Amino acid sequence: MAVLAESGSNPDVDLLYDINGLAKDAPHWFDRVMEFVGEYGLLVAMVLLVVWCWWSVRRRADEDSAQSVAALVWTPLAAAIAVLVNVPIRGFVERPRPFLDHTGIDVLVSGKTDYSFVSDHATITMAMGVALFVANRRFGLLGIGLALVEGFCRVYMGVHYPTDVIGGFALGTAVALLLSPPAMALLTPVLKAAESSRWGAWLVRSGDARRLARDAVIPGARSEVSGAEERDLAA
């Protein structure tokens, strides 16, 4: 298909030059930082954010722990599905990378020979950010913020048009939201059933949370134990 942006008069290309132009004026070390952050760093940060959220959720002793963990399991699955959906989209649009059609682009990372639309990095991070928002709004907002920074980095690095990033954001959001209900319907019963096993219980709740949950089910358990301990000490 025809290239989506052919000339510098296109606002998409103008914005590309404006953002990528910042790389030309920046120190060399800063460009290297942006290269690492945009290519790997933010993806790793997103994974760590999901792990942090999971660690926080499993430490709480509430009845929705299994559902919350199921939502977190959906987070990487949403990103993987979104990338798979992007495969035929890229093949249909066939948009070359911006540095192949436009001169003066400062490319910070080499070896990009595949098509440009839509951005996989933007798709992955936004899918994870939105899916994380479904699980936990506070962590989800952080995830969406990381996705926005990722999109900026991809244009700054000269490997994507702004509309590649916007398309990735739209694709990631659509997959994370539209497939979330059936995904939760499948994953939540699995996580609830897994709570009965030793490994599944560890996945859903921490040891302290499990003890608190047992005390909540048997309100007198802790007082009886404490009373027994006091009698032993007195003896």
pLDDT one-digit tens code per residue, 143-170 = 999 999 999 999 999 999 999 999 999 9
Burial class (CB in 10 A: 0-12, 13-18, 19+), 191: buried
Q: Are residues 227 and 192 in the same domain?
A: no
Distance of CA 57 to the CA centre of its chain: 17
Q: Are residues 153 and 170 in the same domain?
A: yes
| Local confidence band at 17 (pLDDT 50, 70, 90 cut-offs) | very high
**Residue 229 pLDDT > 70:** no
Q: Are residues 35 and 145 in the same domain?
A: yes
Q: Are residues 25 and 109 in the same domain?
A: yes
* CATH number for position 200: 1.20.144
pLDDT the model gives residue 213: 44
Q: What are phi and psi of 188, to 5 degrees?
A: -60, -45
Taking the alpha carbons at both ends of the chain, their separation in whole angstroms is 87
Q: In the chain, how many domains are there?
A: 2
Share of the chain above pLDDT 90, in %: 56
The residue ranking higher by pLDDT, 56 or 205, is 56
Q: Are residues 200 and 90 in the same domain?
A: yes
**Residue 196 pLDDT > 80:** no
Q: Are residues 51 and 76 in the same domain?
A: yes
Question: Is residue 138 a part of any domain in this protein?
Answer: yes
Q: Are 163 and 117 in contact (CB under 8 A)?
A: yes
Average pLDDT over residues 99-114: 87
Q: What is the dihedral of CA 22, 28, 30, 36, to 10 degrees?
A: 110
Q: Are residues 42 and 154 in the same domain?
A: yes
**Residue 85 pLDDT > 60:** yes
DSSP state of 40: I
Tokens of 70: 């199921």
pLDDT the model gives residue 16: 93
Highest mean pLDDT: which range of 103-107, 145-149, 190-194: 145-149
Pick from 80, 92, 91: nearest CA to 120? 80
Task: Please tell me the distance from the alpha carbon of residue 133 to that of residue 163, in angstroms, as a whole number.
Answer: 23
What is the domain extent for residue 217?
205-235
**Residue 70 pLDDT > 90:** no
Instruction: For residue 95, give every residue at least 6 positions away whose Cβ sits within 8 Å of its Cβ, in sequence order, or none.
Output: 1, 3, 4, 115, 116, 117, 161, 164
Q: Which residue shows structure tokens 């999971």?
A: 54
pLDDT the model gives residue 62: 60
Task: Please tell me the distance from the alpha carbon of residue 127 to that of residue 49, in angstroms, as a whole number.
Answer: 14
Q: Are residues 220 and 116 in the same domain?
A: no
pLDDT the model gives residue 235: 44
Question: Is residue 126 a part of any domain in this protein?
Answer: yes
Q: Which residue shows structure tokens 């690492």?
A: 36
Share of the chain above pLDDT 70, in %: 79
Q: Are residues 77 and 124 in the same domain?
A: yes
pLDDT the model gives residue 101: 86
pLDDT the model gives residue 194: 72
Q: Are residues 53 and 122 in the same domain?
A: yes
